[in-house]
């Protein structure tokens, strides 16, 4: 994130109620009323948000969904990126997978949702 958005401020671990983590070659979210997705919450200025939009392929590859991100301290009205074409689940490339696992570990976030995604893919 710091390479893409140098002025971003990491607010730490967060979760989204009503969403589920999915592998679709990259990380994605599904609406799932009885589930939750874990991740890292970042505070971005307008310039960093524009840079992240470009990196994520907004609005062609991903759209931004308004969500309530929760931390242990409070709730934030936030943006989450979700794939426009939510097709079948598929495994990510090893480099991407490693980067996500490292990010979760560095932020003391459980990797269980990612591991469950690999089990669904029989990996």
The enclosing domain of 82 has a CATH number of: 3.10.490.10
Domain total of the chain:
1
Percent of the chain with pLDDT over 70: 100
The predicted-structure confidence for 5-28, as pLDDT tens digits, reads as follows: 999 999 999 999 999 999 999 999
Q: Check residue 2 and give its pLDDT.
A: 84
Task: Report the C-alpha gap between 25 and 27 in whole angstroms.
Answer: 7
The confidence band for 95, taking pLDDT boundaries of 50, 70 and 90, is: very high
Residue 2 is assigned to a structural domain of this protein = no
Please, are residues 22 and 28 in contact by the beta-carbon 8 Å criterion? yes
Q: Per the structure block, which two tokens stand in for 26?
A: 């990259």
User: pLDDT at position 3, please?
Assistant: 87
Q: How much is the pTM?
A: 0.93
Q: Do the Cβ atoms of 27 and 14 come closer than 8 Å? A: no
């Amino acid at each position: 994130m710091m390479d893409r958005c140098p002025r971003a401020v990491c607010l730490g671990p967060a979760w989204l109620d009503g969403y589920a983590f999915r592998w679709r070659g990259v990380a994605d979210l599904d609406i799932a009323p009885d589930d939750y997705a874990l991740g890292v919450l970042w505070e971005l200025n307008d310039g960093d948000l524009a840079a992240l939009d470009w990196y994520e392929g907004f609005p062609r590859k991903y759209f931004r969904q308004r969500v309530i991100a929760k931390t242990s301290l409070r709730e934030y009205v936030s943006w989450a990126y979700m794939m426009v074409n939510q097709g079948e689940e598929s495994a990510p490339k090893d480099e991407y997978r490693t980067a996500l696992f490292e990010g979760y570990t560095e932020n003391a976030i459980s990797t269980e949702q990612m591991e469950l995604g690999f089990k669904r893919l029989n990996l």
